Structure formats: C-alpha cells, structure tokens
Structure 1
C-alpha cells in the first residue's frame, strides 16, 4: 500500500517579508491551494506595498518587519541575500516560537550565518530554503501562482532546526507543486556556484564584452535565437545578483578557474588548427547537455531562473 502523503497545514497568517517575484509567487501559490487564511507583508518600498495589495497578493501591507511578523504562523523571507541579517534582526522579538520561518535565498552559508547571529532562541524556527525557480524579470507584477510547480526546492536545515519545522517546510513546498530535496549548506553553495552562479556571471560578462567593442551595437543588431537563449539570464536583477555573487565568491571564483581552464583548452585547439580535438570537445559538451535534459526526475530542464 502506498503511504498517504502528509496533509499540508493551513496557516492562519503568512507574513511575507519582501514583496517581489519570489515572495509574491509563494503567497499566490499558497492562496490558490487554500493553505492560508490571511497574507500580510512588508516591503521597503511604499509603492511596492501598495501594488501588492492592489494585485491581491497581500490582504494587508505593514510598514515594518515586526508588525508583519507579529502573530504570523508562517513567515517567508524573500529579500536579497545581502538584506537577510537586517531582516532577521528586525523580526526576532516579534516572531512567535511556534512559527515556521523560511527564506528563498540563492546562497545558504551566508544566510545561515546571518540567522545564527540574529535570531537567538528563534533559530529553531528557521528552515533555510532555495526554490530553483524564477524569471529574468523581477517585481511583484510578475508574481505567478504556478512558478514553483514542477521545480526543485532545496532545504538546508541547521542542527538547531526542529524536526517538526522541517517536516512542515517539506509539506508546504510539496503542496504548491515543488520537488523537495535536502542538502548541507556547504554542498548547496558549491553546487549552485557551478550550475547557476557561474552561468549568470558568464552571461553578464559575455554581453558586456560584446557591447564594449566598437562595433558591438552593430553585432547585436544581427543577433539571433542562439544569442537570445544564451544571454537571457543577463537580464536578471542587478542588485540580487550582486549580492549572490558576493556572498558565494569563494565557490564562484573556484568555478571561474575551472571555466578558464576549459576555455583555454578550446583556445589552444583553435590556435593549433586541431579540428578533430575541437570536434571532440564540442561533442563532449553536447552529449552531457543532451543527457541532462533527458534525465529522469530532472525538475529544472525547462526555462527557469534560479
């Protein structure tokens, strides 16, 4: 007999700290699934707070973090990773011990360090999370209740995280359509430096390298689908990616060194005119990419931002 899946809890009050694409999409997904009664939120921007209410993402907007968190049984921290520590500090005294607190940050070691420095006795409430989803556009206007469906969410619990909170986090993400995995924070940051942070860095650098050339604008006019697909993530939010790359710089720089070695290998084959070796390198990459897209259980093989 197949075991029954845990029933997702229904929350009385979701406090959304950071009313952008990721947080707004989580709120809409919970509302659509009937898993929350009331959604309140805080954004540093008054305009964003008002817009979130107009779009019915929030039932009520608060003017500070503590007021939003007070009385909430579920709190989602959806701010740039560079703003995590300030947010943790602002919510600590208002966070009730029974609440489930999660984030959606793309780096985990730095976020956990911020939580450890700021949350005190409330650290056991915190389940660090990273949904591998998003878009290259930001803002509450782009919030989408289906954003997390068929996407992977990584949980990186702390030793202090309660088992009950971990189970609740797993159930909530599953209930809105996500495939949940667990990793250590260190493994998470090393992995996503390779498969997310470096690719973003390369996209930013490639676009800048093109436009820095005297004829860059002319070249860009002739760009087609290949350039469009490769450069899509270069349109990502600059402040968000500034924080991600800075927070995970050790792992990112290690991946840069690996990429530089691979690029030099391609350069050498071109310089030497070694076409069989060049074809081998291209075929090797093509085979890996093809196998990855066909991999069973791969929840990230469609257009997604992470």
Structure 2
C-alpha cells in the first residue's frame, strides 16, 4: 500500500538513502526525489534505484511532495525548513532524522505554514560510512526510531510518520524532545565524544616517539570505529545538545576517576568488582 505518493529526501546519504530504499522496497512510497548539493551523489542515487529523480534546488525539489525527510546535519535543519516552507503543498509532512530534538523541534514547528506539519524523529541506527552508496534497506530493521511529538503535533501526521518507521522495521517509542536529548546524550553522544578523544589522545602521546596508531589492533579499532563518523554531523550535535553532553561527560569523568584511583592504589578486589559490574551490564544488553 502506498502511504506516500511523493517523498522528497533532503540529504541522500546513509540515513536518507536507507529510508528511501526500504520504503520503496515495501511499496510504501510512489516516487522519491533526492535533494542535495552533490550532483554526483544524487546521480548515483538514481543509478542505484534509490531515487526516481533529483534536484539541486530544495525549493523546486519539495514541490508536490506529501512528505519531506530531512537527513542533513542538525544545525542546518531549521534554515532548510525556513527555506522550503513557502513551497510546501497543503497537507505536507516534514520530518527529520536528526540526533538532537529539542533544538530542531523548537526551531522548526513555528516555521511551518498553515496546513503543513512538522514531526521530529530520530532513528537510532547508523554506521561510520556516508553517501548514498553506504545506504542499505535493512539499516533500520529491529532498531528504534524515537519520534518526539509536542502539544502542537498534528495527530494524523504523527500517526503517518510512526507507521512509516514501523514499515522500515523499527520499534517506535514516543518521547518528549527534552527527555530524548538526555537519553541519547548518554547512549550515543557520550560514546562518540569518548571515541574521538581516545584517538586524539593516543595520536598525541609521543613519550616514546613514533606513530602509536599504526600499532593499533582489533580492540582499539573496534572501540574507536565511531570516530570515523562524519565530523560535521558530530560538530552540530555537540553544539546543539551541549548541556546534556557536558552533564554526561562530567558523569563519565567521575567514573574514570574512580577507576584511576583503583589502579593507582592497586586495589585488586575493587578493580575486579568494577570490571565485573561493567561486564554484567554490557552482557545483559546483547
């Protein structure tokens, strides 16, 4: 069943491309128009069958769309919504895949013209790769997509966005935007901050000279995989979810200090208990 006759995807990379792929595969969308600045990437999207057509002009690209999906860096989303707003058809739903919701929702809701609707969303899925060639239809299978309605959210628009994410294979909890940002600061944003910091720390450690990173093996590479993620995207996340990220970074530092004390004091039982507790909690989520 076609739920969306014409979908415009602004930002045809891993997130936007994968959403288009699965909705096409499931027959839930009739036509997909890709919008972006990189024409080579958009042409490749057409060649791969992810897109039916593309436009370098967002205002032209959203004409006639009944759904617009924004998959661009967080800081760019409000400006893009403001730019395309005059060209949206009555009844059009605009939703996004941004990792920060309070900033996005508060900025975008007031920009929507009468008779059009904004629904915030965040699929908790991804890889460190980017571009339309990195997209794949099973990215969202078995994952969560948090949708963040407010008191202003249109009920029918909300139901449609939720249904589309379910079609994509996701579990779809509803969450207040502020609560969302605190949750993802812990489970997503903090791990990225740690991974970026660890790579920079090891690279900057020159007590013994030489390139330490060249000696890295599986453990280091697995742990720091997410440090290969898009720096522009993570710059925007750090800027727009600053308070929640700093709170989690400070909380993490407290635990790291506890571990440092255990190592420094050669507390065998304390170290084992610290590691065992972490192992048990980690094993429980697998």
Question: Any stretches of 5+ residues in structure 1 without a counterpart?
Answer: 1-7, 294-306
* Equivalence for 2:283: 290
* Equivalence for 1:54: 47
Separation of aligned partners in 2, 1:191 and 1:150: 19
Worse overlay, 158-167 or 110-119: 110-119
Separation of aligned partners in 2, 1:36 and 1:192: 29
Aligned mate of 1:102, from 67, 88, 95: 95
* Equivalence for 1:184: 176
- CA RMSD for the aligned pairs? 1.5
Question: Any stretches of 5+ residues in structure 2 without a counterpart?
Answer: none
Separation of aligned partners in 2, 1:100 and 1:172: 12
* Equivalence for 1:158: 150
**With structure 2 as the length reference, what TM-score do the two structures score?**
0.95
* Matching of residues 117-128 of structure 1 within 5 Å: 117-121=110-114, 125-128=117-120
Please state how far the C-alpha of 1:117 moved relative to its aligned partner.
4.3
* Equivalence for 1:256: 249
- SS of 2:68's partner is strand
Q: Which string of whole-angstrom CA distances, capped at 9 and with x for unpartnered residues, describes residues 138-184 of structure 1?
A: 11111111111111110001211111111111111111211111110
Whether 1:203 and 2:195 are equivalent positions in the alignment is yes
Q: What is the count of residue pairs matched by the alignment?
A: 285
**With structure 1 as the length reference, what TM-score do the two structures score?**
0.89
Separation of aligned partners in 2, 1:157 and 1:66: 25
* Matching of residues 69-108 of structure 1 within 5 Å: 69-108=62-101
- SS of 1:14's partner is strand
Runs (4+) of structure 1 exceeding 6 A deviation are none
**Is 1:88–1:114's contact at 8 Å kept on the other side of the alignment?**
no
* Equivalence for 1:137: 129
Separation of aligned partners in 2, 1:137 and 1:275: 41
